[in-house]
């Protein structure tokens, strides 16, 4: 009896994996790790504002895609590995440092900072995945082959990342890195198939669903926090006038409503779905790894629009302001609506979000054709978000749920 107990204690001491039998809490180190990505999102917003061109938008999209993959794959790793164990803690701190370096050089990634950006990113993805191969290998019943397949996919794309940094710049580098990202985004759909090693299964991706849902919800908070930082920083540099205060209140109201639309029902529904789903790995891949991307991109677009509004609140709405407001918030509503659709009883897109998308389309056409004052335009954008939030709240909390249930809200 004592010998068997000793074997169990030794196995528990040797493994670096979380105990998946219960709730896997978010660690303080994971929250600390997230701070780097507030800075990274701010860098992306500034890159868009400073370039304001199609090439700049494409570069920002590639940079965000890399930042998101670095964060979400590390979140998956921390879902499996125990952050309170020293080797895992050191790994997360190293990833945090590499992510910070990547964020620092992000505005120059398509110029002279390309090699540093690529090497930092490759170090994150390959280094962390090889560490997880080691973690799985030393743990009884560990999922070593799955991690080895993922490592091979990342090592393949790493060659393209580094080649793009060394052999090209500008648009040419953009195409190289798009090819690398295409490989990395295709991996989960291809189940990381590798010759002679086969492919992974959805059962290989058994995770703590509540932990991953909470981590992605926290990234939404990061994106909202980045918008608050931009809004507050810009407002602090301006004179305290009625016009500037109105613009500030519009920007703040938009952030509050985006929080409300996601967290009032979406976050809880998504967490319940993944926690009780028979294939949590599939939900984690589709609803969180991929579907949260347009949500965050839309929020970045909204933050860029807020800074434009705060910079020129007494002007007419520029076409750039119209594009980032209506485009960003439409992308946000589309992503959140699809996310809620997957967790709704009837699997239907929320009617309130569909109405919001339609109104943003009409608002964009109107503001594109007519010279609308910037403050009026910003107020109308906030009014659309308010309509979506109020409509959904009353349909779910105000006694109308049965009558509107057929629409999937």
Q: Which helix (H) or strand (E) holds 70?
A: helix 54-80
pLDDT at 243: 93
Mention every residue, 6+ apart, whose C-beta is less than 8 A from residue 86.
none
Express each pLDDT in 218-232 by its tens digit.
Answer: 999 988 988 888 888
User: What value does the mean pLDDT take over residues 278-295?
Assistant: 84
Cβ–Cβ < 8 Å for 287, 241: no
How high is the pLDDT of residue 366?
A: 94
Residue-wise pLDDT for 303-317, tens only, equals 999 999 999 999 999
10 pLDDT tier (thresholds 50, 70, 90): very low
110 has pLDDT over 90: yes
Lowest mean pLDDT among 37-41, 372-376, 400-404: 400-404
Average pLDDT of span 227-239? 86
CA atoms within 13 A on the CB side of 122: 20
Residue 346 burial (C-beta neighbours within 10 Å; 0-12, 13-18, 19+): exposed
What local confidence, expressed as pLDDT, does residue 14 receive?
64
The pLDDT of residue 238: 86
Whether the pLDDT of residue 197 is over 90: the answer is: no
Average pLDDT over residues 182-186: 94
Q: What is the pLDDT of residue 13?
A: 52
Mean pLDDT, residues 21-30: 79
| Structure confidence by residue, pLDDT tens digits, 71-92 | 999 999 998 889 989 999 999 9
Question: Does residue 183 carry a pLDDT above 80?
Answer: yes
How much is the pLDDT for 141?
Answer: 57
Q: Is the pLDDT of residue 43 over 90?
A: yes
Find the DSSP H helices in 237-373: 242-263, 266-276, 280-283, 292-311, 319-343, 351-369
Residue 398, pLDDT score: 59
Between the alpha carbon of residue 337 and those of residues 110, 189, 284, 305, 346, the distances in Å are 34, 22, 17, 21, 13
pLDDT at position 103 is 96
328 CA to centre of own chain: 14
pLDDT category, 199, cuts 50, 70, 90? confident
Residue 210: per-residue pLDDT:
83
Q: What are 204-221's pLDDT values in tens digits?
A: 777 777 888 889 999 999
Dihedral over Cα of 62, 68, 71, 74: its sign: negative
Radius of gyration of the chain (CA): 23
Q: Evaluate if residue 278 carries a pLDDT over 90.
A: no
Assign 185 a pLDDT band (cuts: 50, 70, 90).
Answer: very high
Q: What is the dihedral of CA 65, 70, 76, 81, to 10 degrees?
A: 180
> Nearest Cα to 179, choosing from 164, 197, 189, 199?
164
| Residue appearing with tokens 């939900």 | 283
Rounded-to-integer distance, Cα 160 and Cα 157, Å: 5
Q: Is the pLDDT of residue 101 over 80?
A: yes
Per-residue pLDDT, 9: 43
Structure confidence at residue 97 as a pLDDT band (50, 70, 90): very high
């Amino acid at each position: 009896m004592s010998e068997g107990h000793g074997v169990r204690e030794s196995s528990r001491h040797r493994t670096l994996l979380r105990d998946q039998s219960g709730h896997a809490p978010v660690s303080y180190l994971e929250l600390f790790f997230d701070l780097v990505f507030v800075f990274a999102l701010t860098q992306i917003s500034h890159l868009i504002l400073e370039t304001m061109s199609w090439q700049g938008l494409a570069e920002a999209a590639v940079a965000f895609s890399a930042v998101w993959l670095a964060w979400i794959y590390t979140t998956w790793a921390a879902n499996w590995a125990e952050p309170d164990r020293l080797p895992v803690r050191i790994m997360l701190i190293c990833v945090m440092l590499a992510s910070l370096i990547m964020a620092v050089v992000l505005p120059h990634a398509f110029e002279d900072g390309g090699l540093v950006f690529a090497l930092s990113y490759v170090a994150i993805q390959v280094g962390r995945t090889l560490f997880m191969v080691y973690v799985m290998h030393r743990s009884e019943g560990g999922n070593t082959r799955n991690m080895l397949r993922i490592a091979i996919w990342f090592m393949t794309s790493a060659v393209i990342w580094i080649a793009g940094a060394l052999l090209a710049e500008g648009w040419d580098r953009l195409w190289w890195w798009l090819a690398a990202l295409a490989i990395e985004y295709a991996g989960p759909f291809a189940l990381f198939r590798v010759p002679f090693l086969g492919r992974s299964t959805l059962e290989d991706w058994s995770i703590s669903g509540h932990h991953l849902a909470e981590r992605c919800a926290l990234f939404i908070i990061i994106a909202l926090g980045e918008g608050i930082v931009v809004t507050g920083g810009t407002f602090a540099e301006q004179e305290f006038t009625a016009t500037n205060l109105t613009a500030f209140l519009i920007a703040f109201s938009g952030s509050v409503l985006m929080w409300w639309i996601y967290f009032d029902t979406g976050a809880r529904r998504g967490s319940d779905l993944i926690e009780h789903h028979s294939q949590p790995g599939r939900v984690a891949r589709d609803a969180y790894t991929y579907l949260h991307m347009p949500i965050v991109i839309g929020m970045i677009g909204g933050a860029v629009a807020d800074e434009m509004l705060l910079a020129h609140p007494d002007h007419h709405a520029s076409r750039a302001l119209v594009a980032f407001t209506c485009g960003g918030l439409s992308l946000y509503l589309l992503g959140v609506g699809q996310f809620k659709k997957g967790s709704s009883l009837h699997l239907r897109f929320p009617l309130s979000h569909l109405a919001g998308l339609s109104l943003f389309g009409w608002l964009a056409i109107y503001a594109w054709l007519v010279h609308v004052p910037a403050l009026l335009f910003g107020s109308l954008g906030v009014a659309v978000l308010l309509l979506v939030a109020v409509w959904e709240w009353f349909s779910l909390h105000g006694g109308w749920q049965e009558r509107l249930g057929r629409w999937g809200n």
